[in-house]
Chains A and B, each alone.
Chain A
Amino acid sequence: MEAPAVTTGMEWEESLLPPTSVPPALKAEVRKRLGVVPGWVARVAPVPWVARSWASMMSKPVAHVSPALCDLIALVVSQDNSCRYCFGAQRAVMRMLGYREAYIARLERSFHVADLSDAERAGLDFARRISRADPRPSRAEVERLARAGFSPPAIAELAYVAAATVFANRAATLLALPPEPFETMVDRPLVRLMRPLMARRLRARPRQPEPLPRPNDGPGAAAVATLDGSPAAGVLRAALDAAWASEVLPRRTKTLALAVVARALGCARSEGESVLALERDGFGARDVEEILATLGSTRLDARETRIVPFARETVRYHRPVPIQRRMREVAEGLEPAEVLEAVGVVALANTVCRLGLLVDLS
């Protein structure tokens, strides 16, 4: 049984890092969140926060939009970002969940002609706009969503789901994750029989609204605050706190990557937060401006000299292979754990700053 032609035709490099053993506790945690343990867990296990954050961010922590719309967004955004791994995995998950092949194929060709409600179509348009961030989402689009029946927390969750998919797309693309074996299994007779059972495990349960986590004062605080009332706020806050608490790379390296992504996306709030954090970490205002203006400085250490300019390249790329080759060049000077943390941080920065576009709008 082969993977669908739509995925086999997508260009993709060999995986950047080999799989490693996964601690049972981490495996259990991911299974609890996603219902399965995807192949990427073994590749990112050496930096556990990446695995935990990835699993929790993709577990549809939403209370104001339907998990079904989250599935559609994940498919459309992954396809738009040419992420071979996420696109293939998402379409396989949707097949397991009971979506017909013809329906998925129609969505892939264009969601404008698929059997969708006007609200779903507006939601997908907006999600793709958040992911592309060019042009930036406008107030008119937010108003269109409101007219389509989305409440302000639901609009924030739409942006979150798109931005979380951007995280997965960046992480999977930069690591050049190999396709999941289950992609080719969905149409096997035995698997077809088991699909209802598997769907039960994979289907996300609707969540209840949750208050904003307190304190919310670390990196990306403004972006997290846009998700007030959504369980996604806590998930994103936990992901950011875990990333910044990890000691594989220094805090300042991670903040620099966030600041660069913010500048590339024109996300004023996230850049402002990062600049203040860098000043607290001992950088002078002029040093920070020099780094952001030139993507280089003698104040940067050897790892930062690689990671800081690379962060900018992860914001927009039109094809996966050139960015995967650049990632390989960057990785040559880093330890595997450093590569994983750098990938996790730039992916997270892309999520935060895309949500930050919504902050700037308000």
Chain B
Amino acid sequence: MSWAALCAALVALAVLAWRTRRTVAGLERRLAGAHEELERLQQAFSRFAPAEVVEDIIADGLSARSEKKEITVLFADLKGFTELGEGLAPAELVTILNGYLERMSQTVVEHRGHVSKFLGDGILALFGALEANPWQTNDAVHAALAMRRALADYNATLVAAGRPALEMGVGVHRGPVVSGLIGSEGLTGYDVIGRTVNVASRVERLTRTHGVDILVTDATRAALDGRFRLRAMPAVAVKGIAGALATFAVEGFDADGRAR
């Protein structure tokens, strides 16, 4: 009888041990899975916010970190797209726009930029915002030239399909911004604010005035590789900016040329 009880107790203990081990292994798997997921999220978030900010969010759920930094802002917009849209079916309009935004975003990312937001058919891209980049201004203007080429390719596809070609304006400005998590409790995102962003947008508008596709400011030019071919445009008074704004059209890049 006592042997039977002992055996039963041993079996019960063995079952208990086995079940405990299984439970612990399951919990470990779930914990590891959660960490893996967190790691993936961290990597995914690092495409939208600097690594420090992502780490703050993961550790504390928010980031109060805000800083002033010098970045290069690229603002791109389609010229006459609203009028163009009036003659197209909504689905066709969205398809054309998405094709454009996809190609331009890819080009920005290939040049180490980050698309901060789409504003209708506008693109706000930042260089040097997510990670320190000593070559941010060159990258931004190389991106603008690559966007010009990408749009030419896209237009060839559109025209071949009987659709209208698109025309783009790009403004690039370098200057200080304040960056951080900006928004309300329900809708927050990493963003930059400051006059630099407004100037880039105004410069993009000037592409219409000057009849060119890529314009950069003097501050951009000062930080730019001298092998970019630039053409000075007449200084123009612009709303919200004291004095006339000098800009330069970007014609190309001489890879074999000598820097200024």
* Residue from B35, B50, B255, B259 having most chain A Cβ neighbours under 10 A: B259
Which of A10-18, A105-113, A330-338 is the contact stretch? A105-113
A-B contact pairs, 23 of them (CB 8 A): A106-B28, A109-B33, A109-B36, A110-B35, A112-B35, A113-B32, A134-B51, A134-B131, A135-B52, A135-B55, A263-B134, A266-B134, A290-B226, A292-B134, A293-B134, A294-B135, A294-B138, A294-B227, A296-B225, A297-B258, A298-B258, A312-B135, A316-B131
Interface residues of A in 230-280 (CB under 8 A from B): 263-264, 266
Q: Which residues of the partner chain B approach A106 to less than 8 Å between Cβ atoms?
A: 28, 32
CB 8 Å contact bits of B127-148 with A (1 = contact, 0 = none): 0000110110010000000000
Q: Are A113 and B255 in contact (CB under 8 A)?
A: no
User: In the assembled complex, which residues on chain B have CB atoms less than 8 Å from the CB atom of A298?
Assistant: 257-259
Cα separation A113 to B25 with both chains bound (whole Å): 12
Instruction: Give B208-260 interface residues, CB cut-off 8 Å to A.
Output: 225-227, 255, 257-259
Closest to B32 in A: A109
**Chain B interface extent, by class:** 20 to 34
- Minimum distance in angstroms from A46 CB to a CB of chain B: 30
B90 to chain A, nearest CB (A): 36
B153 close to chain A: CB less than 8 A: no
Instruction: Name which residue of chain B comes closest to A309, CB basis.
Output: B135
Given contacts A294-B225, A296-B227, contact A135 B51 (CB under 8 A): yes
- Cβ of B167 within 8 Å of any chain A Cβ, yes or no, is no
Whether B134 contacts A264 by the Cβ 8 Å rule is yes
Q: Is the CB of A290 within 8 A of B259?
A: yes
- Residue pair B135, A113 in contact (C-beta under 8 Å): no
Query: Among the listed B39, B50, B132, B226, which residue makes an inter-chain contact with A110, where contact means beta carbons less than 8 Å apart?
Result: B39
Complex Cα distance A110/B43, Å?
14
Q: Does A132 contact B (CB under 8 A)?
A: yes
Kindly list chain B residues whose C-beta atoms are within 8 Å of the C-beta of A127.
Answer: none
Q: Which residues of B contact A (CB under 8 A)?
A: 28, 31-33, 35-36, 38-39, 50-52, 55, 131-132, 134-135, 138, 225-227, 255, 257-259
Shortest distance from the beta carbon of A144 to any chain B beta carbon, whole Å:
13
> In the complex, A41→B32 CA distance in Å?
36
Encoded as 1 (CB less than 8 Å from any B CB) or 0, chain A from 285 to 328 comes to 00000101111111000000000000010001000000000000
**Residue of A113, A134, A263, A266 with most chain B CB atoms under a 10 A cut-off:** A113
Q: Are A113 and B35 in contact (CB under 8 A)?
A: yes
Apart from A295-B138, A296-B259, 15 more pairs, CB < 8 Å: A109-B35, A110-B32, A110-B35, A110-B38, A110-B39, A113-B28, A134-B51, A134-B131, A135-B50, A266-B132, A266-B134, A292-B134, A294-B259, A296-B225, A296-B255
A113 to B50, CA, bound (A): 25
- List chain A positions with a Cβ less than 8 A from chain B: 106, 109-110, 112-113, 132, 134-135, 263-264, 266, 290, 292-298, 312, 316
In the complex, chain A residues whose CB is within 8 Å of the CB of B55 = 135
Inter-chain CA distance A296–B55, complex, in Å, is 35
Alpha-carbon separation in the docked complex, A51 to B61 (Å): 46
CB nearest to B225 among chain A residues: A294
What residues of A have a CB within 8 angstroms of the CB of B227 in the complex? 294, 296
Q: Which residues of B contact A294 (CB under 8 A)?
A: 135, 138, 225-227, 259
Residue of A nearest to B54 (CB): A135
- Are B31 and A113 neighbours in the complex by a CB distance under 8 Å? yes
Q: Which residues of B contact A112 (CB under 8 A)?
A: 35
- B25's nearest neighbour on chain A, judged by CB, is A102
A135 contact set on B, CB distance < 8 A: 50-52, 55
A287 smallest CB distance to B (angstroms): 10
Q: How far is the CA of A44 from the CA of B120 in the complex (A)?
A: 52
Name which residue of chain A comes closest to B254, CB basis.
A296
- CB-nearest residue of chain A relative to B29? A109
Which 10 A-B residue pairings sit nearest by Cβ, starting from the closest? A110-B35, A294-B225, A109-B32, A298-B258, A135-B52, A113-B32, A113-B31, A109-B36, A134-B51, A294-B259
A293 CA to B138 CA in the complex, in Å? 9
Q: Please, how many angstroms separate the alpha-carbon atoms of A110 and B29 in the complex?
A: 11
Q: Which residues of A contact B33 (CB under 8 A)?
A: 109
CB atoms of B259 and A297 under 8 A apart: yes
Q: Min CB distance, A244 to chain B, in Å?
A: 24
Q: Which residues of B contact A312 (CB under 8 A)?
A: 135
Q: How far is the CB of B116 from chain A (nearest CB, A)?
A: 19
Which B-chain residue is minimally distant from A265 (CB atoms)?
Answer: B132
> Inside 8 A of B131's CB, which chain A residues have their CB?
134, 316
